[in-house]
Amino acid sequence: MTRKIHVAALNDLVEEEGFAVQVDGCPVAVFRCGSEVHAVGNVCPHMGAPLSDGYVDGRSVVCPWHGWVFDLRTGVSPFDEDAWVPVYRVVVEAGEVYLEVEETESAPEPSTRDR
């Protein structure tokens, strides 16, 4: 069973600009890209930079500190498949943005990606 956690109103998300939230103690970066909304872990695995401070380049976010790149749909770096950030399920309903979280978990679970 999943539950929805409200993170923002869609109108509060600035196009291609990161929005940082804490969801069950986990830092999450939310990005609005056109009609799509993406959510990824907000910590770059390289040096811990907040990805919400990075910039969107197409369907990727670029880390603000050292330029590491992560696909907003898969969380994987196109330059190193061993470098990744978690990706979270996003639902937009009636102009509100939610993350879907499994009821039994204490933190959002990355979307389907075999590791």
pTM, whole model, 2 decimals? Answer: 0.87
2.30.30.40, 3.30.413.10, 2.30.110.10, 2.102.10.10: CATH of 2-102: 2.102.10.10
Give the helix/strand (H/E) hosting 39: strand 36-41
Lowest mean pLDDT among 6-20, 55-69, 98-112: 98-112
DSSP 52: G
Q: How far is residue 103's CA from residue 59's CA, in Å, rounded to a whole number?
A: 29
Domain-by-domain residue ranges, the chain?
Answer: 2-102
pLDDT in tens, 56-94: 999 999 999 999 999 999 999 999 989 999 999 999 999
Question: Is residue 110 very low, low, confident or very high in pLDDT (cuts 50, 70, 90)?
Answer: low
Q: What is the pLDDT of residue 115?
A: 36
DSSP 106: S
Sheet holding 96-102, edge to edge: 2-9, 96-102, 90-93
